[in-house]
Structure 1
Amino acid sequence: MGAASCDGDGERNAVVVGLQPVALVDHVARVDWAMLESVPGERGGSIRVTATELEDILAQVNKHVLPNGDFSSPIRTLAGGSVANTLRGLAGGLGVRCKMVGARGNDEQGKMFATSMRSFQVDLSCLRVKSGPTGQCVCLVDALGNRTMRPCLSDAVRLQASELTREDFKGIKWLVLNGYGFYGEELVESAAHLAKLEGALVSMDLASFEVVRNFRPRLLKLLQSRKVDLCFANEDEARELMGGEPESTPESALKFLSQYCNNAVVMLGSKGCIARSGDEVVRAKAVEGGSVVDTTGAGDLFASGFLYGMINGLSLDHCCKLGCCTGAAVVQDLGGEIKQQGKKWMLQNMASMGLPVFQA
């Protein structure tokens, strides 16, 4: 593999840097459960597949399009990845200066990824361009908006821990990490260390219960280091982190996370969220009124709204409401990005709840 180049030049220091070691292109499709029976792994989860398996799934999608679907194509292709989703929500939806640290291939998928991210005003000056393929993921969405993800990353180019430099994090206020980064040896740990040298705060999303199960010792070690200032988890992820505790509740999960982080959030889907900052605990209801087409990116965009509140010094209650609002906006269309109509809906709801909109 040849030397990597960078994907453009940054103009100003970013407020938020997101670490996504592997650029992803999502292939999103609405399907019926009959089709999902033939896909390996648990429904609703995320397990890796080979390139051959990915092509087979995509071929099957064209035969199992959801009846009466209202989309012009069975498959919608767009830039993907949890961190990418969060950065797009912050930059394109809320005007926060964001930069991505990671790698993409020099193929057509990689170019499409870069074009999509730039359209949401995300700085790609620290996105390395390498010779090789870009990662891909099939996102299968059922009639209720639930999604099953099958990423193909085996041959995809990726960022290595040794490639990170302090310059990647210069001047930032927040680093956004995701549990999927643990697939890179020492990568998450190195990024957190370098960000702390710059005086930045660190946010961690646990990603999925499979990720927590696979990397629990490393995740706990990072949390115990006290380098994570804000942790996001859903109920399944928190339960897995607690060792599969069958009697765990959102409250007990929040208490567990708060041992290691000053700020912790347990996302409850349609029931809203519960969050803690120091000794303060806040519950927020989900924002109602929007349709649910695809839950892909709901947690990622919840993080966008919550972080936006933290960046601007808002109350914990406002941070929770912002997260619920941005999370509700993204589920109204296919894929993990807020489309123009969803953005309009989001801003209207923010205004009705008295939530301020800044330009960071």
Structure 2
Amino acid sequence: MGAEELPSPLPKKDKKAPLVLGLQSSALVDHVARVDWSLLDQISGERGGSQLVAIEELEHILNELKTHILPTPDDPSPIVTIAGGSVANTVRGMTVGFQVTSGIIGAFADDEQGRLFVHNMSSNGVNLSRLRLKKGPTAQCVCLVDAVGNRTMRPCLSNAVRLQADELTREDFTGSKWLVVRYAISSLEVIRAAIRIAKQEGVSISLDLASFEMVRNFKSPLLELLESGDIDLCFANEDEAKELLRGEQNADPEAAVGFLAKHCQWAVVTLGPNGCIAKHGKEIVRVPAIGGTQATDATGAGDLFASGFLYGLVKGLSLEECCSIGSCSGGSVIRSLGGEVTPENWQWMYKQMEVKGLPLPDFCKP
């Protein structure tokens, strides 16, 4: 939606650019709840993925939540409402957990959800000077978590304020090292424009494949993006990897990581409780999941894996170390509800890193 841009109350751009930028064309608020199977059975679309819904369906699901909440004595609140979106989760994780300076490029509205997004991200140290204020509603998403921690997402982006491709400037990217992007057909024009300008500014690109539905339904433009040679790092989970190679004789994770590595310097396929497989050049590594905890909520697991992996790349660590830190950070977020890591779970992550001899962020060192 090409909403009118308003004078922003956010700070002007800092002279020193964030090391990592996230492109999320629409600010997004997640409503995360643990629910019983019967609610998931009522909702259209496949369980476990992400499918766009209209505002009426989003409001219907939110109303239905009250009668389908799973009792969880450990959770102080049955529904967590928080700044969300895959990219926001990743850059917030980098800032809070690893103290890598990060910022976000996108648009928000001056409504309840927009103010919540800004407050949450800014209070966690994310640079919001590239976030544009526009007239209209802020995007929302319902994240439904089942009894075993799997999450089903229903985002509502209709009529939400959105950054447009022609609003991007070189100044948005100058001085940064990485741009984090999530594949989405609704944002394809702005994604292409951001990648083009970022590459002109010497910024490396990290792409997440988003969901198996997105890969299945919009495979052709995704392949064009990968084949452009502009994507330096690509993350896929196991379901997305299968969709990417659907119809091929061999569609296992090894084949998928090999396919992605033909087009990207670094290719990573995450395998949930089975860890991950990654390739860089001729090197292939397999790293087990860390922690061995039953997931309370898988929301944000891939996003926080990316936070840890990118921290490793920024620090110049080996492929195996990047994967191990990604496994630690991905394991930290699944221990509680929502895509934001709690202070206790960050401490759990640092302990895991220490035990495995992985380089801790500088602020953790005595």
1:160 CA drift (Å)? 0.8
Is the 1:96–1:359 contact (alpha carbons within 8 Å) kept by the matching residues of 2? no
Aligned-pair RMSD on alpha carbons? 1.4
Matched residue, 1:2: 4
Residue identity in the other structure for 2:81: T
2:279 pairs with 273, 276, 279, which one?
Answer: 276
The answer as to 2:173 corresponding to 1:201 is no
1:38 pairs with 42, 60, 65, which one?
Answer: 42
1:21 pairs with 16, 21, 25, which one?
Answer: 25
The answer as to 2:118 corresponding to 1:114 is yes
1:293 pairs with 296, 304, 315, which one?
Answer: 296
SS in 1 for 2:239: helix
Distance 1:129 1:246, change over 3 A: farther
1:2 CA drift (Å)? 2.5
Is the 2:275–2:288 contact (alpha carbons within 8 Å) kept by the matching residues of 1? yes
Residue identity in the other structure for 2:31: H
Q: Which moved more, 1:282-291 or 1:14-23?
A: 282-291
Per-residue CA deviation, residues 278-301 of structure 1 (Å, 9 max, x unaligned), is 011111000024442100000000
1:275 CA drift (Å)? 0.4
Distance 1:185 1:208, change over 3 A: closer
The separation in 2 between residues aligned to 1:184 and 1:301, in whole angstroms, is 22
Is the 1:161–1:185 contact (alpha carbons within 8 Å) kept by the matching residues of 2? no
1:263 pairs with 256, 266, 289, which one?
Answer: 266
Residue identity in the other structure for 1:4: L
The separation in 2 between residues aligned to 1:5 and 1:48, in whole angstroms, is 30
SS in 2 for 1:124: coil
Matched residue, 1:96: 100
Matched residue, 1:71: 75
Percent sequence identity over matched residues? 54
1:243 CA drift (Å)? 3.7
Unaligned runs of 5+ residues in structure 2 are none
SS in 1 for 2:31: strand
The answer as to 2:162 corresponding to 1:158 is yes
Per-residue CA deviation, residues 106-146 of structure 1 (Å, 9 max, x unaligned), is 11110100000012210000011111110000000011100
SS in 1 for 2:5: coil
Unaligned runs of 5+ residues in structure 1 are none
Is the 1:23–1:134 contact (alpha carbons within 8 Å) kept by the matching residues of 2? yes
The separation in 2 between residues aligned to 1:348 and 1:60, in whole angstroms, is 39
Matched residue, 1:218: 221
SS in 1 for 2:71: coil
The separation in 1 between residues aligned to 2:61 and 2:90, in whole angstroms, is 27
Q: How does 1:132-147 map to 2 (within 5 A)?
A: 132-147=136-151
Residue identity in the other structure for 2:40: L
Residue identity in the other structure for 2:160: A
SS in 2 for 1:79: strand
Matched residue, 1:62: 66
Residue identity in the other structure for 1:245: E
The separation in 1 between residues aligned to 2:332 and 2:282, in whole angstroms, is 30
Matched residue, 1:308: 311
1:9 CA drift (Å)? 2.6
Residue identity in the other structure for 1:3: E
Is the 1:62–1:74 contact (alpha carbons within 8 Å) kept by the matching residues of 2? no
Q: Which moved more, 1:242-251 or 1:318-327?
A: 242-251
Q: How does 1:325-344 map to 2 (within 5 A)?
A: 325-344=328-347
Residue identity in the other structure for 2:127: D
Distance 1:216 1:359, change over 3 A: farther
Matched residue, 2:51: 47
1:26 CA drift (Å)? 0.4
The separation in 2 between residues aligned to 1:85 and 1:22, in whole angstroms, is 14
1:61 CA drift (Å)? 0.6
Q: Which moved more, 1:210-219 or 1:1-10?
A: 1-10
Per-residue CA deviation, residues 31-62 of structure 1 (Å, 9 max, x unaligned), is 01012111111111111111111111011110
| Aligned residue pair count | 359
TM-score, structure 1 length as denominator? Answer: 0.96
SS in 1 for 2:128: strand
SS in 1 for 2:26: coil
1:352 CA drift (Å)? 1.0
